[in-house]
């Protein structure tokens, strides 16, 4: 079992678009071979924080997903983010981050040089799990 968690922060101008794209991907990603769950969570306390979660039966099926059209749309949403993404990829033996995606694809699929200039000064270390509500299953 492998879990992929992507946390993103958006400006108010990009929030609705990012949320709509990710909501539209819940069903299609869930129907991919090897995917057992997809969820989209939104921080309701302040700003626009979104958390995208996928669960996969194994790394091979997740790797196939990373090379597909749905993940390219997720990468486009990452480009809209106000800050670099927080990525966690967990399996039974380890936790990895965005470097696993870069390793599988052979390159960095997003450019974060512009994103760091748009930061609004909020701390990234704040946990927002308790303020999330589910937007998909």
User: Looking at residues 17-36, what average pLDDT do you find?
Assistant: 97
Tell me which residue range forms the domain holding 55. Answer: 2-112
User: Does 31 map to a domain?
Assistant: yes
Exposed e or buried b per residue across 16-51, where buried means at least 16 C-beta atoms within 10 angstroms of its C-beta: eebbeebeebbeebbebebbeebbbbbbeeeebbbb
CA distance 17 to 19: 5
61 assigned to some structural domain: yes
In a domain, 54, yes or no: yes
Residue 125 lies in a domain: no
- What is the count of structural domains for the chain? 1
Could you report the per-residue pLDDT of 59-115, keeping only the tens digit for each? 999 999 999 999 999 999 999 999 999 999 988 777 777 777 788 788 776 765 554
In this structure, is residue 133 part of a structural domain?
Answer: no
**Residue 22, in any domain of the structure:** yes
For residue 83 the two structure tokens come to 């800050």
Residue 121 lies in a domain: no
Residue 19 lies in a domain: yes
Report field, pTM of the whole predicted structure over 0.85: no
Whichever domain contains 8, its CATH number is: 3.30.70.100
């Amino acid at each position: 079992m492998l879990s992929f968690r992507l946390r993103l922060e958006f400006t108010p101008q990009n929030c609705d678009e990012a949320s709509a794209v990710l909501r539209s991907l819940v069903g299609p990603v869930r129907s991919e071979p090897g995917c057992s769950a997809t969820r989209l969570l939104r921080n309701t306390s302040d700003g626009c924080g979104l958390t995208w979660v996928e669960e996969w039966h194994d790394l091979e099926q997740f790797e196939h997903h990373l090379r597909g059209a749905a993940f390219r749309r997720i990468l486009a949403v990452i480009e809209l983010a106000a800050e670099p993404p927080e990525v966690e990829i967990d399996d039974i033996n380890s936790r990895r981050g965005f470097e696993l995606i870069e390793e599988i694809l052979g390159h960095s699929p997003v450019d974060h040089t512009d994103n760091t200039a748009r930061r609004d000064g909020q701390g990234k270390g704040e946990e927002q799990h308790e303020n999330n509500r589910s937007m998909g299953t």
